[in-house]
């Protein structure tokens, strides 16, 4: 900390006799002062850090039975009374966040005038008292004339610091270097960005919506059920899903990518088509459609040929959907489809089957790409997929958040603010030259609000250079002292 930050602000309290009015006033002032204090900021940051942990440990937005099963009825009652099952939206957590915002605002308002003065109203003349207050200082006494000294100092300053100003009176001239004054704005910029962020988040939350919809291939929708609420929004256009596809990493069942071909229809006309995938949403009127999940619609059916081990037709073919049990003539077991994989080997469908007999259950797999492979199972009959009428659905997150642009603006402002707060120190250097032909004395003083160690190097370097520059005959050391 430099001395400038420790200057006390003069108290403006009245010196009159204490009255009810002034007690009231000082009470309000007391509240204001604590709301605007950095101590409160530190306290709130630590309390927020501690309480935020709760929501990462306790299940959030679960169903009652989940809580009862995991924590028991007593704990569940406690969770409900403190809203720990939805704590980031609870009244007390939002109160803490609001307090932090109020604190940031008041604290910035309270401190800003002083910062503004430090930024813009630096003393133009280096006098004795200012000189003594500065942490970095030095003086030089040399035999060169004041005029000559001024010339050489101008060169030196231009060389080492760039821009500077001059202030002249009868006794002396002060050169003043003022660099990175805007660095002091950093903290305020960051605080402002946090307020903007909050406004963006609140606005987006209040006006926008988030929902989830699944669309079967070929289907058109224009209503989106909202997440966590028993309501839906009607879109100002229709969305149709023409196709959905999953691509797997070769030889695995791990999806590499999944796509939906979406069509936007407005007043009966197709106005936009887009293939969306994870990380590449469709945007219509600011409404985002994100590829989120997928599955096979219940209406999908598969038609099997039923063959005997020699490859001859053993029974009429069957057409069934998932979970629908069926029997085959001459076979006492019950078969059923567990799961349909629409595009498996070679992009062709496969099914996970089950066979239930008196002895138990057997699972097996049939792929359309390997028609007679099921024979190897060695049953009384085997199946071959003749045809599959599979309809997949695509699961889409739908979000409209008009606060997002403000959130990104706020984020950029925050990064800019942090950068100047940490890496743009406000550095000031004063050089005073006495205009006394008998006695050319130069005083040099400096201050910085950040990184004093590196400023010290710069300052000392400049001081040495100054001493060098003010030698009577530059280049020759004549051994004079300060």
Partner 1 sequence: MSSSTLFGIATFAYLFATFFYVGYLAFRGRAVGNAATGMVWLGVVSQAGAMIMRWVESYRMGIGHAPLSNMYESLGFFGWCVMIAYLVVEYRFKQKAVGAFVSPLAFVILAANALLFPDEIQPLVPALQSNWLIAHVVTSFVAYGSFAVSFGVSIMYLVKRRSERMGSEGSLVSLFPESKMLDEVNYKSIAVGFPLLSLGIITGAAWANYAWGTYWSWDPKETWSLITWFIYAAYLHARFTRGWQGTRTAVLSIVGFSAVIFTYFGVNFLLSGLHSYS
Provide the 3-class DSSP secondary structure of residue 167.
strand
Q: At CA 428, angle to CA 424 and CA 433, rounded to 5?
A: 160
Round to whole Å and give the CA distance between 472 and 482: 13
List 161, 203, 290, 365, residue binding partner 1 (CB under 8 A): 290
- C-alpha dihedral sign at 83, 87, 91, 92: positive
List 69, 117, 163, 256, residue binding partner 1 (CB under 8 A): 256
Binding-residue total with partner 1 (CB under 8 A): 49
- The residue among 245, 244, 108, 125 whose CA lies nearest residue 185 is 108
> Rounded to a whole number, what is the distance in angstroms from the first to the last CA of the chain?
29
Residue 53 sits in the site that holds partner 1 (CB under 8 A): yes
Burial of 48 (0-12, 13-18, 19+ CB in 10 A): middle
- Residue closer to partner 1 (CB basis): 101 or 140: 101
Residue 404 sits in the site that holds partner 1 (CB under 8 A): yes
Select from 129-137, 286-294, 327-335, 424-432 the region that touches partner 1 (CB under 8 A): 286-294
List, in order, residues 6 or more apart from 313 with CB less than 8 Å away.
Answer: 305, 306, 307
DSSP states along 327-386: EETTEEEEEEEEEEESS-GGG--EEEEEEEETTEEEEEEEETTSTTGGGGG--SSEEEEE
List 278, 369, 376, 464, residue binding partner 1 (CB under 8 A): 278
- Residue closer to partner 1 (CB basis): 326 or 408: 408
Residue 251 sits in the site that holds partner 1 (CB under 8 A): no
Round to whole Å and give the CA distance between 79 and 63: 13
List, in order, residues 6 or more apart from 199 with CB less than 8 Å away.
Answer: 403, 406, 410
Residue 207 sits in the site that holds partner 1 (CB under 8 A): no
- Residue closer to partner 1 (CB basis): 58 or 149: 58
Select from 72-80, 288-296, 386-394, 439-447 the region that touches partner 1 (CB under 8 A): 288-296
- Residue closer to partner 1 (CB basis): 30 or 255: 255
- Residue closer to partner 1 (CB basis): 43 or 131: 43
Find the shortest distance in angstroms from Cβ 438 to partner 1.
43
Binding mask 300-329 for partner 1 (x = CB under 8 A): ------------------------------
Find the shortest distance in angstroms from Cβ 398 to partner 1.
7
Site residues (vs partner 1, CB under 8 A): 1, 38-39, 41-42, 45-46, 48-49, 52-53, 55-57, 60, 88, 187, 201, 210, 249-250, 252, 254-258, 277-281, 288, 290, 292, 397-399, 401, 404, 407-408, 411, 414-415, 418-419, 422, 453
């Amino acid at each position: 900390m430099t001395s400038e930050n420790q200057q006390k602000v003069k108290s403006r309290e009245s010196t009159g006799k204490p009255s009810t009015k002034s007690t009231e006033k000082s009470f309000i002032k007391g509240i204001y002062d604590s709301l605007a204090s950095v101590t409160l900021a530190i306290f709130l940051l630590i309390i927020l850090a501690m309480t935020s942990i709760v929501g990462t440990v306790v299940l959030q937005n679960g169903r009652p039975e989940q809580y009862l099963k995991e924590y028991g009825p007593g704990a569940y009652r406690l969770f409900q009374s403190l809203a720990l099952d939805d704590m980031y939206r609870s009244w007390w957590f939002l109160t803490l966040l609001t307090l932090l915002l109020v604190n940031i605002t008041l604290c910035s308002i309270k401190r800003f005038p002083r910062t503004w003065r430090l930024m813009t109203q630096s003393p133009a003349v280096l006098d004795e008292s200012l000189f003594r207050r500065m942490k970095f200082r030095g003086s030089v006494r040399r035999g060169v004339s004041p005029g000559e000294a001024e010339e050489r100092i101008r060169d030196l300053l231009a060389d080492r610091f760039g821009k500077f100003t001059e202030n002249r009176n009868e006794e002396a001239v002060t050169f003043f270097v003022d660099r990175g004054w805007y660095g002091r704005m950093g903290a305020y910029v960051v605080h402002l960005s946090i307020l903007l962020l909050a406004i963006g988040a609140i606005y987006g939350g209040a006006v926008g919506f988030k929902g989830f919809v699944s669309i079967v291939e070929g289907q058109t929708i224009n209503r989106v059920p909202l997440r966590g609420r028993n309501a839906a929004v009607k879109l100002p256009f229709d969305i149709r899903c023409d196709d959905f596809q999953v691509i797997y990493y070769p030889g695995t069942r791990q999806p590499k990518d999944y796509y939906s071909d979406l069509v936007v229809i407005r007043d009966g006309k197709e106005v936009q088509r887009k293939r969306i995938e994870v990380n590449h949403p469709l945007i219509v009127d600011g409404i985002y459609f994100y590829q989120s999940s997928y599955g096979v619609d219940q209406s999908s059916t598969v038609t099997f040929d039923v063959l005997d081990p020699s490859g001859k037709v053993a029974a009429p073919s069957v057409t069934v959907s998932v979970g629908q049990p069926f029997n085959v003539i001459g076979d006492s077991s019950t078969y059923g489809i567990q799961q349909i994989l629409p595009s498996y080997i070679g992009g062709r469908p496969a099914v996970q089957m089950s066979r239930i007999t008196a002895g138990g259950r057997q699972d097996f797999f049939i792929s359309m790409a390997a028609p007679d492979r099921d024979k190897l199972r060695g049953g009384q009959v085997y199946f071959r997929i003749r045809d599959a009428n599979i309809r997949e659905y695509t699961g889409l997150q739908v979000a409209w958040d008009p606060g997002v642009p403000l959130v990104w603006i706020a984020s950029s402002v925050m990064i800019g603010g942090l950068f100047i707060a940490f890496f743009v120190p406000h550095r000031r250097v004063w050089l005073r030259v006495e205009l006394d032909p008998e006695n050319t004395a130069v005083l040099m003083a400096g201050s910085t609000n950040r990184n004093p160690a590196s400023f010290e190097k710069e300052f000392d370097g400049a001081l040495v250079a100054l001493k060098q520059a003010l030698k009577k005959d530059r280049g020759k050391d004549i051994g004079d002292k300060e």
